[in-house]
Amino acid sequence: MLQSLAGSSCVRLVEQHRSAWCFALLVLGYLLYLVFGAVVFSSVELPYEDLLRQELGKLKQRFLEEHSCLSEQQLEQFLMRVLEASNYGVSVLSNASGNWNWDFTSSLFFASTVLSTTGYGHTVPLSDGGKAFCIIYSVIGIPFTLLFLTAVVQRIIVYVTRRPVLYFHIRWGFSKQVVAIIHAILLGFITVSCFFLIPAAIFSVLEDDWNFLESFYFCFISLSTIGLGDYVPGEGYNQKFRELYKIGITC
């Protein structure tokens, strides 16, 4: 009898705090998912990072041996300055000097990455005035972008989803549920093709150093607004029709 009373009290306690238990499980699940991602990324990427560090260390040591007039401290200062400039999208390489980061098309591309919250990070404002304007521009522009996209979706969804389903349901007498399922599959296939597969194939051709996987990876990182910035199109040396290419990517 005591066991049944204790069991019923536990059940009542769980029922009374169901929302709190669900939230606690959600938090625990999210933390475990973060840890899982950290473990996988660390185990996969750490060996490659170690190999790259060893390679760079050997190159640095060889360079110092071949240029004995240059001290390690001077080389470190030069490399620190180069890396600092690289973080702002400015390269000291002779084959990269022809591309400007703040011409009109590049600035238009940067504005689109700011308003879409993609933010590749390959180009950032250099001046204090540019940083201040970027803050104000983003505060106004990001909500404006969300409003614009909402208005566009509200108008497109009628022609993309509702009308085709109703047309086949009323005109041909097919089951509305079956038509909706087929329509969703076709719409998903068209979306993946138009925004991932076809652009990835185009990028793999136009970008010399990108294969299809890297191009698909760029498309996903961009459209999900993650924007890691490790791949940015149109930044290659002597990119043909670079201005037109940048405008196309922006669109």
Ranked by mean pLDDT, the top range of 22-26, 107-111, 157-161, 195-199 is 195-199
Burial of 219 (0-12, 13-18, 19+ CB in 10 A): buried
Domain for residue 59, yes or no?
no
31-90 per-position pLDDT tens digit: 999 899 889 988 989 998 899 889 988 988 888 888 888 788 888 888 888 877 776 667
What six digits make up the tokens of 81?
Answer: 């300055």
Q: Judge whether residue 7 has pLDDT over 80.
A: no
Q: What is the CATH number of the domain that holds 219?
A: 1.10.287.70
* 97 pLDDT tier (thresholds 50, 70, 90): very low
Ranked by mean pLDDT, the top range of 26-30, 120-124, 155-159, 172-176 is 26-30
Give the chain's domain count.
Answer: 1
Domain for residue 95, yes or no?
no
Q: What percentage of the chain exceeds 70 in pLDDT?
A: 88
Task: Give yes or no for a contact between 112 and 233, defined as CB atoms under 8 angstroms apart.
Answer: no
Res 233: pLDDT: 86
Domain for residue 134, yes or no?
yes
Domain for residue 244, yes or no?
yes
Domain for residue 194, yes or no?
yes
132-159 per-position pLDDT tens digit: 999 999 999 999 999 998 998 888 887 8
Q: What is the mean pLDDT of residues 186-203?
A: 93
Q: Where is pLDDT greater, at 239 or 3?
A: 239
Least confident segment among 38-52, 85-99, 113-127: 85-99
Domain for residue 167, yes or no?
yes
Domain for residue 186, yes or no?
yes
Give residue 199's domain range: 101-250
Q: At what angle do helices 212-223 and 198-206 cross, to 10 degrees?
A: 120
Considering the chain, what is the average pLDDT of its residues? 83
Domain for residue 26, yes or no?
no
CA atoms within 13 A on the CB side of 24: 6
